[in-house]
Amino acid sequence: MALIPAVVERKTKAHVPWGAKAVTTLVFLILYVPLLTLIVYSFFDPVTGEWSSRWYVEALYDESLRKAVTMSMIVGFWCTLGATLLGTTAALALERTQFVGKKVLDALTLVPLVVPEIVFGLSLLIWFVALRLSLGTISIVLAHITFSFSYVIITVRTRLHDFDMSLEEAARDLGASSWQTFWKVTFPLIFPAILSGALMAFTLSFDDFLITFFTSGVANDTLPVKLYAMIKFGISPKINALSTLILFATIVLVLLAFRPKRKAKVVEAEAETSQEDSSIRLTA
């Protein structure tokens, strides 16, 4: 009986037109040249023509900047906590239950995504004044939760929409209660979506300027508001140095976040290579 040789598929690179390469290169230049310029000018003072790394030291020891960064971190933490809890529970309610007014509530969750920030910030300011709520850390946190929890809802609902309900049914058949089923089955499977929504909420909170500007009051500046106030008197290398530090911290966090996925891809590629080698040896 003749052996039929196995066909080993080899991945071939598709031909990319030069126009697509040029457009891609142009897009990357537009995105990253400003960042490289920021890094260069964090060491260079165009007024005096001085090259120095002392701007990083001044940025780290500037009391007002440290206070602004601390305020942004505090607001970001409480905003992330509140938006994640509200967004996750709302996503579960909207995806798993039926009640009167669900479609209306479902549509209202999208309002913070489409309303211009300046309108949203002004409406929150008027609302806080009507409630006689003092503008400060609490008002900033409430404002940030209001516009960021919608992103958590969308992220978690996307995962719940594709959730395999037979897993929960199997857990209940094995005697697990509703509480045990949620924490042992549902929560671990939707946790990546919850984490993604939480990171998005923190990023939006840390980066927000307009809504914070309307709801911060006096002497409660977050980092974006503080930088805006400093830029009014000219762009200092100290601002560029602080922005560069934040940029590198973000890059490190991104690399750490994608490290497990990169390892998994390497292991998968090695497994495919060994499988192909085995197929070649069997057909030899």
pLDDT digits (tens, 9 = 90+) for 226-267: 888 888 877 778 888 888 888 888 888 777 766 655 544 544
What string of H, E and C letters represents the secondary structure of 144-156? Answer: HHHHHHHHHHHHH
pLDDT of residue 11: 53
**What is the dihedral angle through the alpha carbons of 166, 103, 143, 151, rounded to the nearest 10 degrees?**
40
Instruction: For residue 153, give both structure tokens.
Output: 């809802």
So what's the pLDDT on residue 21? 81
Instruction: Output b/e per residue, 64-81; b: 16+ Cβ within 10 A.
Output: ebebbbebbeebbebbbe
pLDDT at 56: 86
Rounded Cα distance between 38 and 42, Å, is 6
Q: Which stretches of the chain are DSSP H helices? A: 18-41, 54-61, 63-96, 102-108, 111-114, 117-130, 137-161, 165-173, 178-181, 187-207, 210-215, 223-231, 237-283
pLDDT at 126: 93
Instruction: Enter the pTM of the model.
Output: 0.76
Domains and CATH numbers, the chain: 63-235 (1.10.3720.10)
Q: What is the mean pLDDT of each run of 10 residues along the chain (284 residues)?
A: 48 70 89 88 77 84 89 94 93 86 84 88 92 90 92 90 85 86 88 89 91 87 88 81 86 72 48 49 50
pLDDT digits (tens, 9 = 90+) for 79-96: 999 999 999 999 998 888
Q: What is the pLDDT of residue 3?
A: 47
Check residue 269 and give its pLDDT: 52
Token readout for 109 is: 């969750």
What count of residues does the chain have? 284
